[in-house]
């Protein structure tokens, strides 16, 4: 009888001690398996290959299609004047003073001011592909490397008549194509017909 009780007590004791060990191992397995999986997902989200692709595209675009020139990186100056048969044409150059290439496309903006810095009345600015002194010039993108230039002309007729006083500007305002800020230059322009033509920009041959 005592031997039977001793064997029964030993079996019960062994069963109670062995059960928690099995439970701990069973609970530990999911913890080890799940944590590396979560870390792998977080690590793979910002894929290095995707970043490289995203960054390389704008660099290629910038190299082939430079951004448009801002007024702040340009300067403008009068470089020449032609006159004949009552017509006057003045050529101006934009210069890229920045450290990177930029582009110009289309027609500059032009405004004529009176002695009080107010818009000169009765003046119409016309976009024109040519003038009396220049051949037809279609709009085209002009890429300016640092220090390079693009030119355009303004043209008008200055023949006056005894019956009519021609308006005359004290200053002009020039806005680069597709820009907002303007340059203001002291310039006396006398468009007796009330019309001033402006040509699109093109690559300039004249350097500072």
Span 130-187, pLDDT tens digits: 888 777 878 899 999 999 999 999 999 998 777 678 999 999 999 999 999 999 999 9
Distance, in Å, from the CA atom of 129 to the CA atom of 136, rounded to the nearest integer, reads: 5
Q: Is the pLDDT of residue 43 over 60?
A: no
The answer to whether the beta carbons of residues 100 and 107 sit under 8 Å apart is no
Question: Environment class of residue 108 by beta-carbon count within 10 Å: exposed (0-12), middle (13-18) or buried (19+)?
Answer: buried
pLDDT at 110: 97
Q: How far is 137 from 10, CA to CA, in rounded Å?
A: 108
Separation of alpha carbons 146 and 106, rounded Å: 20
**Sign of torsion over alpha carbons 64, 67, 68, 71:** negative
Return mean pLDDT, the chain: 75
Asked if residue 46 has pLDDT above 60, the reply is no
Torsion of CA 94, 197, 115, 93, to 10 degrees: 10
Q: Please tell me the pTM assigned to this model.
A: 0.66
Give every CB contact of residue 83 below 8 A, 6+ residues apart in sequence: 89, 158
pLDDT (mean) for 33-51 = 32
93 close to 147: Cβ distance less than 8 angstroms: no
- Where do the domains of the chain lie? 2-64, 71-203
pLDDT reading at 8 higher than 90:
no
Question: What is the structure's pLDDT at 183?
Answer: 97
- Please write the tens of the pLDDT for every residue from 47-75: 333 333 233 222 323 346 789 999 999 99
Higher local confidence (pLDDT), 84 or 162: 84
Q: Which two tokens stand for residue 47?
A: 């894929």
Can you tell me the distance from the alpha carbon of 158 to that of 192, in angstroms, rounded to the nearest whole number?
Answer: 5
H or E element that contains 155: strand 149-157
pLDDT in tens, 91-110: 999 999 999 999 999 999 99
* 71-203 to CATH, choices 2.60.40, 3.40.50, 1.20.1530, 2.60.120: 2.60.40
Q: Single out the residue of 102, 79, 69 nearest to residue 207, CA to CA.
A: 79
| Token duo for residue 183 | 């340059």
Q: Regarding predicted confidence, which is higher, 114 or 84?
A: 114
Rg (CA), the chain: 39
């Amino acid at each position: 009888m005592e031997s039977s009780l001793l064997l029964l007590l030993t079996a019960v004791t062994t069963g109670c001690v062995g059960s928690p060990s099995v439970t701990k191992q069973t609970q530990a397995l999911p913890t080890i398996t799940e944590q590396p999986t979560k870390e792998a997902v977080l690590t793979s989200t910002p894929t290095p290959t995707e970043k490289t692709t995203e960054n390389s595209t704008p660099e290629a675009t910038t190299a082939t299609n430079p951004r448009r020139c801002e007024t702040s990186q340009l300067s403008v100056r009068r470089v020449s004047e032609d006159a004949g048969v009552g017509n006057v044409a003045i050529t101006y150059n934009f210069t890229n003073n920045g450290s990177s290439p930029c582009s110009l496309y289309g027609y500059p903006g032009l405004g004529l001011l009176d002695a009080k810095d107010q818009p000169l009345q009765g003046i119409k600015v016309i976009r024109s592909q040519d003038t009396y002194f220049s051949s037809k010039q279609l709009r085209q993108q002009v890429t300016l490397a640092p220090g390079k230039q693009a030119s355009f002309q303004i043209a008008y007729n200055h023949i006056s008549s005894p019956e009519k006083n021609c308006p005359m500007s004290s200053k002009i305002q020039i806005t680069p194509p597709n820009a907002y800020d303007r340059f203001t230059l002291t310039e006396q322009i006398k468009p007796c017909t009330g019309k001033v033509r402006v040509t699109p920009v093109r690559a300039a041959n004249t350097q500072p």
